[in-house]
Amino acid sequence: MPRARSQPRPYHHGNLREALVDAALAILAEEGVAALTLRSAARRVGVSHAAPKNHFGDLRGLLAAVAAEGFRRLAAAMQVPKDEDTAERLLAIGRAYVRFAQTSPELFRAMFHPGLGPREPGGELDQASTAALGVLVEAVGTAQAAGTVREGDAMELSMAAWSLVHGLSTLLVDGHLARKGLPRDGFVLARALGEHLLRGVGVDGGRARSEPGARARRKSERA
């Protein structure tokens, strides 16, 4: 006699939406983003495959909730003591970003998954990602006040820093830097590239080099 197919276990406890997000996070960590579906999350929690639709509508909705949780975790990871030297604090935030990506690669990929589409203004994902970026913007503003980073739009300068660490994180996570003769440790790379960026946006960094006559003045000073 064929064995009867097991039915999903009834869900009796806690918050189903939260449980489904936790299940999705576990699937990402164990199997990757390609394995995440509404059915796979429902199966792991033990509810009918239709249950997630009541909370997320479709896979995009579940992905958005997972990505929002990812950004909340990223924001927490980037929290560096504010009494630290402002330049070191910026470098530490950059390293924290890279560390997060390398230790949670599938979650990192899910946070920027093309299936998410345009973010709903003011939605959970929009708020979580904006809060994560806000950690960096605040640190840049503090560095500007301390004279470590030049004057200018703090958001634009933050975007330069974010682009650098996000690009590095993506290259590392996807294995594009293997056998390129670079340090294997992503944190070493993050610090080195961060220092290059700071020299570019520093008070006397790239601006001094681009001013007309700067080279001639330096020669005369050395004479």
CB 110 within 8 A of CB 36: yes
Burial profile 186-223: b = 16 or more Cβ within 10 angstroms, e = fewer? beebbbebbeebbeebbeebeeeeeeeeeeeeeeeeee
Whether residues 48 and 89 fall in one domain: no
Query: Where residue 92 sits, what CATH number does that domain have?
Result: 1.10.357.10
CATH assignment at residue 34: 1.10.10.60
Note whether residue 214 is domain-resident. no
Least confident residue range of 2-16, 144-158, 164-178:
2-16
The answer to whether 178 and 126 are in contact (CB under 8 A) is no
Residues sharing a CB contact under 8 Å with residue 23, sequence separation 6 or more, in sequence order: 40, 41, 44, 45
Q: What is the pTM of this model?
A: 0.80
Q: What values do phi and psi take at 133, rounded to 5?
A: -65, -35
Residue 89: inside a domain: yes
Q: Give 215 or 28, the one with higher predicted confidence.
A: 28
- Does 1 reside within a domain? no
Contact between residue 72 and residue 51 where contact means Cβ atoms under 8 Å apart: no
pLDDT for 5 beyond 60 = no
- Which pLDDT score, from 0 to 100, does residue 22 have? 96
- pLDDT for 83: 77
Give the model's pLDDT for residue 134: 97
